[in-house]
Amino acid sequence: MTRLSVNINKIATLRNARGGNNPDVVATALAIERFGAQGITVHPRPDERHIRRSDVRALKPVLTTEFNIEGYPSDDFMDLVLEVRPAQVTLVPDPPGVLTSNAGWDARGQKALLKDVIARLKGAGIRTSIFMGTDAEQIGHAADTGTERIELYTEPYAAQYPADRAAAVEPFVKAGERAAELGLGLNAGHDLDRANLRYFATQVPGLLEVSIGHALVCDALTFGLENTVGLYLRELR
């Protein structure tokens, strides 16, 4: 079964909109674990507009499932993850101030940077994943960086899914096959939801983990958080 890691950034966004500590990010993450999710994902950004560095430090000692921290490998980010030492760091190529991740790495052009960062993370015992598109050549360059996994950027799949789901998933199937050939583990995330998740998970070979935040939190407003986590896990089964 593909593992579900819940991105809790939107929980922090809601808290920050009002101030105080409601909803409690740590308590919500622990509840999500109790409800059956196999991981918690956070993406601390430089402006701390959702997840704060203090949240990251508070989460690490209490989580019992996989802790995945996403981010651009700036000096501040690297200091944080090397201090906290999560199970996995997912490297994204976001420039400062971007609203949300919107592209994979140019692993060919940024190979030297990625090699250096990944070597530091692996030296600290942290599994690495890098955010990637579906281009087979770029996935080959990603393998050269030393990363253990890649995370496929799935917004193009989600956008095309309503019109032609077979065409939408085809590049991701090929990317999964290429990753397997290269010995890379495979994660995926961005705009996956209850409508498109099951088809993606059943079609893409070797899919180990999906990271889902925005859609899951939106569904929780209608169905409740516990029921929503169960609904997403059902799609993955």
Q: What is the pLDDT of residue 95?
A: 64
CATH code linked to domain 3-236 = 3.20.20.70
Per-residue pLDDT of 138-176, as tens digits, reads 999 999 999 999 999 999 999 999 999 999 999 999 999
Catalytic residue among 33, 141, 190, 235: 190
Question: Between the CA of residue 41 and those of 89, 116, 166, 175, 178, what are the distances in Å?
Answer: 9, 23, 29, 23, 25
Q: What is the pLDDT of residue 94?
A: 77
pTM: 0.95
How do beta strands 185-189 and 149-153 pair?
parallel
43 is known as an active-site residue: yes
Q: Which two tokens stand for residue 204?
A: 């893409």
DSSP 3-state of 35: coil
Q: What is the pLDDT of residue 104?
A: 87
Through-space distance between the first and last CA atoms of the chain, rounded to whole angstroms: 6
- Do the Cβ atoms of 126 and 153 come closer than 8 Å? no
Q: What is the pLDDT of residue 146?
A: 98
83 is known as an active-site residue: no
Catalytic residue among 33, 43, 141, 151: 43
Beta strands in 107-220 (DSSP E): 127-132, 149-153, 185-189, 207-212
Per-residue pLDDT of 182-194, as tens digits, reads 999 999 999 999 9
Catalytic residue among 33, 66, 70, 151: 70
Low-confidence residues of the chain: pLDDT under 50: none
Domain boundaries, the chain: 3-236
Q: What is the pLDDT of residue 126?
A: 98
Provide the phi-psi class of 31: left if phi over 0, else alpha when psi is between -120 and 50, else beta: alpha
